[in-house]
Amino acid sequence: MAASQQNKMSVDEVLRSLNKNSQQPGSPTGDPAALTTYTALETVLQREVQLLQDPQSAVRRRSLLKIQVLVEGQAPPYLVCQAAQQLLAKPVLCCFADPAETCREQAVHVVLGLIKREPQCAVCLLPYLMPVVEERLHSDGQTFCEPSEDLRLLLIDLLGKVIAQANHAIASYVAPVATILQAACRDSFPEVSLAACRCMQALAAGLGLRLGQVSKQLTASFIPLLTARHYKVRVEAIRTVKALVQCGAHEMILELTAFQDPNSIAIRAFYEADVKTNYFGKLATDSSAVVRREFLALLGDWLLSLRERADHETRLLPYVLGALADPAPQVAAEGLALLERLGHQWEEEHRADLEDKTAYLPSEAHTLGWQPEGLTHRLYSCAVAKGRPGRGARRLVQASFGGVAGVLAREMQDWRSEVQLKAILLLRSCLVFVEDYASAYLHTLLPALRQRILQEDVREGVRECCHVLGCFVMPGLYLDLLQLSGAASLVSAERLTGGLAVLAALLHGAGHRCDLAPHFDRILLSLEDEHLLTSTDTSLKHSAIAAVDALLLADRPSSAASATRLARVLLWLAGDLSTAAPCRRMAEAVLDKLAAACGHASQEGLLAGLGRRQQLLSLLEPRPAFADLTLLVYARALLPPQVVHHIVREAQHRSGLPQDDRLSGASPIPDDDQAHGHDCWSDWQNAAVAMCQLYGCKRAKPYGSGPAFKRHVR
């Protein structure tokens, strides 16, 4: 900025000097028409050109300033090109290597002025200009021949002006231009790299496929700028690589994605580390949303218009899918729009294959019109797509999901929470496109989902993934893979807890969409496992209660026997004294839902239904004393007072004990209209004390924890 202001002041001084000289009678510029001929212009310029050899830098600079004023303002444009080619080209370009930096800068400004005044000068100066600029920007890897950063930037700007004005004439000088720009890419000054990228974009736009022979080398030179420190440099580098690949460097996509052919190993890999960098992976996770957005534009340009796009579609499409989980809403929306455009392109290319399906399937088949009301909102409320994606977009994602599913499963098991979260968000978005095709990858996805659903920071995302899976996948498929039946005593509590939580989320996603009747008994059998019902693990019980709740949401019990079995499971899950209060309340709420599903107004109506009490008692087969006692506590705590006496006598008779009415001191359960604010679990503990007295325990007072109760029962 200071140099430009100083140059402007110097030009003003020169103008005043020329105006003063123009008033002298013998001056060539005294007559306004004196410079209308080439001879008059040559006479004035020769004097200034001779002064360029003066040993004083101030004199040389002043002479360059006068030349600039003459060619930019006083001389006619039709004479400037001739003077530049015959008189000014060599002397002024020699000043590019002047010892004084101010003279070198002024010489560059003179050439810029020539091109600005007469664009044809760019073509005339090409044979002289290219070697000079190439020499000044030559680099040995450490230093440049031109030490000034500002001058290097000015030289690149000059090259950009020449490329813009020379048009196709620059094709003969591709080699020196490529050398100049490759050297500029290694410049530590970011502004020089930015200018070099813009020059290369202009060159690629002007020459196109004629750059094919050197496009790979040029692309390789600009690829390192994709990881530059400044985001503006990365953005311009993306645009440059996008343009160069369209010029015939499509094979560089393999380098950009770090593709390794499994059947081809480089010889050097046997002797040294052969490490490849996935530049696209870095761009997809760049910290700048501007960079990610430009990267998405690059993917769209190649996938939509690259001639060899079919060869690289499988490598590029996963990065488009990654944009669906981008934290920036604008980038995610543009990723969705790009997928839809790619889907339309796919439909156009496969129109003949889709004619039958399009013509004969009803309109409901192309949407979720056949599904229950509210399913669409529940399914797409957590996804980028607010409706069912297009057919072409779905087919594209389904074709590439096989290579993505395994990677997502591994990243979900990564130790870094940010990697886990991004993988989960991406999986959720992909499942909306994949739909029922996800059935083929359940064996890969379910173990990862089961492991992460218990993690607090990613739990909601995992549940949303399971909701989408449950909406499209048949229950029989994931029940086989979860392996919950009879496995409670064979697997760890953590794995069983995760499996039940995943089952609950899958059933919640299924809703009323699928028929669970063939699998109802199988799910009930998993929930009735003795190890599960007698466990003291709060998380395990919470997951089991959630599974029962989701089961009721998806399908109501088909028979009284099924309802009784569900009631027994809920009584077990709610009845342990060591269970935390939230689990108790959750079990009570689910028991209310079960009663409503069976047509009863309350839990008491459910348990007191016709034949239901006898069915419940029939499930209480002779067990060890502790189990019988626990079930009696369930009866005392949950059943109405008028039937407690009968149940206790039945249990006493079954266990061979004499009849005893000492339970009469236990406080009864209040009626429904008096139960508001009443803690029935305190009455339950009092009933437990009564049971201890009944069975001859030494201590008879309320116990607030399960272990104490168990210890005294024993």
> What's the pTM?
0.77
What span, in angstroms and rounded, lies between the C-alpha atoms of 69 and 45?
11
pLDDT digits (tens, 9 = 90+) for 183-212: 999 888 999 999 999 999 999 999 989 988
- Dihedral-angle region of residue 639 (phi above 0 means left; psi in -120 to 50 means alpha; beta otherwise): beta
- The pLDDT tens digits of the residues spanning 624-649 come to 444 444 554 455 444 554 445 555 55
- For residue 383, what pLDDT band results from cuts at 50, 70 and 90? low
Please give the average per-residue pLDDT across 495-518, as a whole number. Answer: 83
Q: Mention every residue, 6+ apart, whose C-beta is less than 8 A from residue 622.
A: 628, 654, 655
In the block, which residue shows the tokens 């591709």? 174
Structure tokens at 633: 């506590």
- Per-residue pLDDT at 507 exceeds 60: yes
Residue 510, Cβ density class (10 Å: 0-12 exposed, 13-18 middle, ≥19 buried): buried
Task: State the pLDDT at residue 357.
Answer: 67
610-615: long-range pairs with CB below 8 Å, 24+: 611/560, 612/560, 612/563, 612/564, 612/567, 613/639, 613/643, 613/647, 615/560, 615/561, 615/564
Q: Report the pLDDT averaged over residues 610-632.
A: 47
CB contact at 8 A, 506 and 545: no
Instruction: Give the pLDDT confidence score for residue 684 in this predicted structure.
Output: 47
Concatenating the DSSP letter of every residue in 50-102 gives HHTT-S-HHHHHHHHHHHHHIIIIIS-HHHHHHHIIIIIHHHHHHGGG-SSHH
Percent of the chain with pLDDT over 90: 31
* pLDDT higher than threshold 50 for residue 252: yes
What's the confidence (pLDDT) of residue 293? 96
| CA–CA dist 703, 700 (Å, integer) | 9
Q: What is the mean pLDDT of residues 149-164?
A: 93
The domain segmentation of the chain, as residue ranges, is: 1-118, 620-714
Instruction: Tell me whether residue 653 is exposed, middle or buried, using C-beta atoms within 10 angstroms of its C-beta: 0 to 12, 13 to 18, 19 or more.
Output: exposed
Q: pLDDT at position 10, please?
A: 54
Look at residue 445 in the predicted model and tell me its pLDDT.
94
CB atoms within 10 A of CB 384: 20
Q: Which of 135, 79, 66, 75 is nearest to 107 (CA)?
A: 66
Q: For the ranges 80-89, 316-325, 388-397, 458-467, which has the lowest average pLDDT?
A: 80-89
Separation of CA 4 from chain center: 45
Spatial neighbors of 155 by CB under 8 A, at least 6 apart, are: 108, 133, 136, 137, 146
For position 7, what pLDDT does the model report?
54
C-alpha torsion sign, points 238, 243, 244, 248: positive
Q: Which residue has the tokens 């088909």?
A: 558
Question: What residues contact 362, with CB distance under 8 A and at least 6 apart?
Answer: none
pLDDT digits (tens, 9 = 90+) for 9-40: 455 554 455 444 544 444 444 444 456 777 87
Is the pLDDT at 458 greater than 50? The verdict is: yes
pLDDT band at 89 (very low <50, low <70, confident <90, very high): confident
CB distance 452 to 408 below 8 Å:
no
Of 114, 61, 62, which is closest to residue 84 (Cα–Cα)? 114
Residue 528 · residue 565 · CB < 8 Å: yes
Q: What letter would DSSP give residue 144? A: B
**pLDDT of 304 above 60:** yes
- Asked if 190 and 228 count as a contact pair (C-beta separation under 8 A), the reply is yes
**Euclidean distance between CA atoms 194 and 230, whole angstroms:** 10
Q: Which residues pair with 139 in a beta bridge?
A: 144
Return the ∠ at Cα 421 (arms to 415 and 422), rounded to 5°. Answer: 110
State the residue for tokens 């509590």: 493
Reduced to 3 states (helix: H, G, I; strand: E, B; else coil), residue 384 is coil
d(CA 427, CA 406): 11
pLDDT at 32: 40
DSSP of 524-589, one letter per residue?
HHHHT-HHHHT---HHHHHHHHHHHHHHHHH---SSHHHHHHHHHHHHHHHH-TTS-HHHHHHHHH
Predicted pLDDT at 440: 92
Give whole-number Cα distances, 620 to 59, 302, 561, 636, 649, in Å: 113, 68, 14, 14, 14
pLDDT band at 594 (very low <50, low <70, confident <90, very high): confident
**Residue 673: what pLDDT?**
39
Note the pLDDT of residue 192. 94
Helix axes 625-638, 560-575, angle to 10 degrees: 100
Share the mean pLDDT of the chain: 77
Residues 360-372 have a mean pLDDT of 50
Question: What DSSP character marks residue 389?
Answer: P
Please, how many CA atoms are within 13 Å of residue 431, restricted to the half-sphere of its CB? 31
- What span, in angstroms and rounded, lies between the C-alpha atoms of 349 and 347? 5
**Sequence-separated (6 or more) residues with CB below 8 Å from residue 321:** 335, 339, 397, 400, 404, 426, 429, 430
pLDDT per position as a tens digit, 527-582 = 888 778 777 788 888 888 888 888 887 777 766 777 778 877 887 777 654 445 66
Residue 261 above 50 pLDDT? yes
CB 672 within 8 Å of CB 604: yes
Stretch 682-710: mean pLDDT, rounded?
44
Q: Would you say 449 and 438 are in contact if contact means Cβ atoms under 8 Å apart?
A: no
- d(C-alpha 22, C-alpha 712), whole Å: 120
